[in-house]
Amino acid sequence: MISTNSKLPEAILTARINGKMETLTTTQLFEDKKVVLFAVPGAFTPTCSEAHLPGFVALADQIKAKGIDSIICLSVNDAFVMDAWGKQHNADGILMLADGDASFTCAIGMNIDTGSFGGDRSVRYSMFVDDGVVKIVNKEEPGTFEVSDAQTMLDAL
């Protein structure tokens, strides 16, 4: 599992931006930037939709005021799903990224096999990344939502 002071691996992620499919590398997303990344087990799932994403939407301006260049929400879903979920929650200030094949999630050791529910998914976590290097990691235990929320991240920045 990725830890503090680790460099993020090179990976390709996807997003719908201005109605177009975009492929983005981790270098493009994190190099020379301060980024808050949070990951959820699945778009449109209860805790993710009722608390995790809405918390970051509500605190996005305060988080960015701490010198953060971008806030990224990541899930092992496709870019169309992430785009629709972001629109439903007015997540205009958050980049909704898809890790469709879970390659990035697996590369950083944040995957969990959910079996027939959805296969490889992400555990719930948040992290602060400075120039591609992880500075803070808040990983949840399965079935919890206590340390990866927006307020905890805001307080740590």
Q: What is the pLDDT of residue 118?
A: 67
Confidence of residue 142 (pLDDT cuts 50, 70, 90): confident
Confidence of residue 112 (pLDDT cuts 50, 70, 90): confident
pLDDT in tens, 116-130: 666 688 999 999 999
Confidence of residue 113 (pLDDT cuts 50, 70, 90): confident
CATH number of the domain located at residue range(s) 12-156 in this protein: 3.40.30.10
What's this model's pTM, rounded to 2 decimal places? 0.95
**40-63 CB burial, b ≥16 within 10 A, e <16:** bbbbebebbbeebbebbbebbeeb
User: Would you call 73 a catalytic residue per the annotation?
Assistant: no
Task: Identify the sign of the CA torsion 59, 43, 88, 21.
Answer: positive
pLDDT in tens, 1-26: 999 999 999 999 999 999 999 999 99
User: Are 43 and 75 a contacting pair, CB within 8 Å?
Assistant: yes
Question: Which of 48, 63, 123, 137 is labelled catalytic?
Answer: 48
**CA angle at 47 for the pair 102 and 147, rounded to the nearest 5°:** 80
User: Are 151 and 59 a contacting pair, CB within 8 Å?
Assistant: yes
